Structure 1
Amino acid sequence: MFIKKDLTQKEKRHRRIRKKIIGTDDKPRLSIYRSLNHLYAQLINDITGKTILFLSTNSKEFKKVAPSYGNIKAAEALGERFANLAISKGVKEVVFDKGGYPYHGRIKAFAESARKTGLQF
């Protein structure tokens, strides 16, 4: 049986981006993961290796706020809620890691909503 070891194009893009982007205490890395049905966002301090904040469209507190979870409206609501939580934790500037995804659709809606709420990147 043959095991394929080649990386997909998305994985190659993500590794190339991650070489350049580093989150610190002052500017943590805002990492996005997009699955077929959900969006996941987290703030990461790469120096200490700790996650500062995590929120997804799959979490219980988000499901109370937004009834839908896999579309652009949900991404906008997630971006707004995420930015509010980040600002309440004292984070105002972040480094945006779009995870190898194109800046389009749900990723763009999340980013613009977070910027509009007051998060700078």
Structure 2
Amino acid sequence: MHRKDKVEARQRRKRRIRKKIQGTQNKPRLTVFKSIKQIYAQLVDDTEQRVLTGISTLNKEVQAGLKSGGNNDAAKKVGEAIGKKALGLGITEVVFDRNGFKYHGRIKALADGAREAGLKF
């Protein structure tokens, strides 16, 4: 499968998923994006169309002690950090948006980290 085909397939999956899920103020959407070197997570309120908070492997608090931002350990650390930030905002439940990526590897590690921090999906 060529790179262009992979990206288009992910975009189709993303659109199909986004039609079905929506975040609110009380239960925001936890959306994830991954690149080769980094992983990003944001809490989004779709009713007001605003980002409540976000974190990535580029943040200094997450980077401490990591060799690379593109592995499962980094993803788990980002998940734990977004979970702590959400609990600080009074958010305990989220809707998980894997953004068209397969629920495997770094995406799964991030979700597990967020669950361990106390978020419910």
- Fold shared per TM-score above 0.5: yes
Residue 100 in 1 paired to residue 100 in 2?
yes
Which residue in the other structure is 1:49 paired with? 49
Q: Whole-Å Cα distance in 2 between the matches of residues 111 and 80 of structure 1?
A: 9
Deviation beyond 6 Å, 4+ runs, structure 1: none
Tell me the alpha carbon deviations over residues 2-25 of structure 1, each in whole angstroms, 9 at most, x when there is no partner.
xx9xx7110000001000110001
CA distance in 2, matches of 1:99, 1:59: 21
Aligned to 1:31: 31
CA RMSD of aligned residues (A): 1.6
Rounded to whole Å, the distance in 1 between the matches of 2:95 and 2:102 is 16
The 1:61/1:116 distance shift into structure 2, 3 A limit, reads closer
Partner of 1:75: 75
| 1:113 positional shift | 1.2
The alignment partner of 2:68 has SS state of: coil
Q: Helix, strand or coil for the counterpart of 2:17? A: helix
TM-score normalised by length of structure 1: 0.90
The answer for the alignment partner of 1:22 in structure 2 is 22
The sequence identity of aligned pairs, in percent, is 46
